[in-house]
Amino acid sequence: MIVYLLKRLILAIPTLLIASFLIFSLVHIAPGDPIRVMLGQYQDPELIARLREAMGLDLPFHVQYLRWLGKVLQGDLGLSITVKRGASVAGLIAQRFSVTVELATFSLIIALLIAIPTGVISALRQNRLSDHISRIIALAGVSIPNFFLGILLILFVGVYLRQPWGAGGYVPFSRGLGRNLAHMFLPAVALGTAYAAIIMRMMRSAMLDAMSQDFVRTARAMGIAPGDIVRRDIVKNALIPVVTVIGNSIGYLLGGSIVTETVFRLPGVGNLVIMGVFRRDFPVIQAVVLIIVVVRIIINLVVDLTYGFLDPRIRYGGER
């Protein structure tokens, strides 16, 4: 187990190096320049050159990359250029990280609450009306982009129903958990439904697969009650592949939060990276994307470990 964990952590190193290189390259290849954004209408060539030199933007590409990488390895994510000039990027991320984590967690909970029961019911009532209805809803859920759903929700709840919590914006925990959660609800729904649809479809097919297994027939032949068979034979075995999908969705949730946070004006990490992109704030974009990569690697690892917990065949892999 510990050996496995170490192996996975060592394997993560080349992944991170390649990711860091790609992130850095993409940011620098993309057109636009933070200095020009910073100076606005006063575009003095001499001033531009001086600022470029001061920030090291005139150095050759590989030197810039290695400098950045060296600092990142020491835990220094650099200073923001345009989003909040001179502020440490690490500090900016730290301020906003909790918002994104809250959004992602809330969305995931909503997704699971919708997906697991509907997936189970859909499979148990295969090809009946309730199955068809949930599959149509699932298809709609996957197809509607979450930013669009977000706009619709704001229009309906915020504008039409005139609910203060339905118009976007963020209320910190310090001003009451209830209000905080109320404001988080619509963004979490907008973000969660698409994943609910993906997880539900996976749950349904994993259930159908488990239902056709021989051990289900054995359990029936032993007179086990149907509810018990659903719980311990079907759902328990169906969850194994679904956990992988759930794990992957957490990664997507972090990515999806970028758009959702913008639609709902939530001051999260996704919102930060959008600002970074608009204002060509290289250190901010690089740091945020890198952190998303790190989080995904960690989540994948956690998912793999959960897998072993659910499936004894993996846990005791070597032993017979």
Partner 1 sequence: MRELLRVEGLVTRFYTDEGVVKAVDGSWFALEADEALGVVGESGSGKTVTALSIMRLIENPGRIESGRILFRGEDLLEKPEREMRRIRGKEISMVFQDSLSSLNPTLTIGAQIARVLKYHTRLTRRARWQRAVKLLEAVGIPEPAKRVSHYPHQLSGGMRQRALIAMAISCNPKLLILDEPTTALDVTIEAQIFGLIGELKDEFRMGVFLITHDLSVVASFCQQVIIMYAGKIVEEADVQELYGNPLHPYTLGLLRSIPPLEEEAERLESIPGEVPDLINLPPGCNFSPRCALTDERCWHEEPELAEVSPGHRVACHRVAVPVGVGEIHG
Residues that bind partner 1 (CB under 8 A): 213-215, 217-225, 228, 232-233, 236-237, 240, 310-313, 316, 319-320
At closest approach, how far in Å is the CB of 225 from partner 1? 7
Name the residue with tokens 């959702």: 260
Q: Which is nearer to partner 1, 55 or 121 (CB)?
A: 121
**Amino acid found at 268:** G
Distances (CA, A) of 150 to 82, 92, 190, 268: 28, 25, 5, 16
At closest approach, how far in Å is the CB of 202 from partner 1? 18
- Spatial CA neighbour of 138 closest among 120, 160, 161, 114: 114
Distances (CA, A) of 47 to 15, 51, 56: 39, 6, 14
- If one counts every other C-beta atom within 10 angstroms of the C-beta of residue 133, the result is 12
- Spatial CA neighbour of 264 closest among 114, 100, 115: 100
At closest approach, how far in Å is the CB of 125 from partner 1? 13
Q: Which is nearer to partner 1, 277 or 303 (CB)?
A: 303
> Is 115 buried (19+), middle (13-18) or exposed (0-12) by CB count in 10 A?
buried
At closest approach, how far in Å is the CB of 223 from partner 1? 4
Strand partners, 5: none
Q: Which is nearer to partner 1, 14 or 223 (CB)?
A: 223
> Is 143 buried (19+), middle (13-18) or exposed (0-12) by CB count in 10 A?
exposed
* b/e code 232-249 from CB counts within 10 Å (16+ = b): ebbbebbbbbbbebbbbb
At closest approach, how far in Å is the CB of 227 from partner 1? 11
Give dist(CA 296, CA 83) in Å, integer. Answer: 25
Q: Which is nearer to partner 1, 98 or 218 (CB)?
A: 218
Q: Which is nearer to partner 1, 162 or 313 (CB)?
A: 313
Q: Which is nearer to partner 1, 33 or 311 (CB)?
A: 311
At closest approach, how far in Å is the CB of 306 from partner 1? 13
At closest approach, how far in Å is the CB of 320 from partner 1? 6
Q: Which is nearer to partner 1, 233 or 281 (CB)?
A: 233
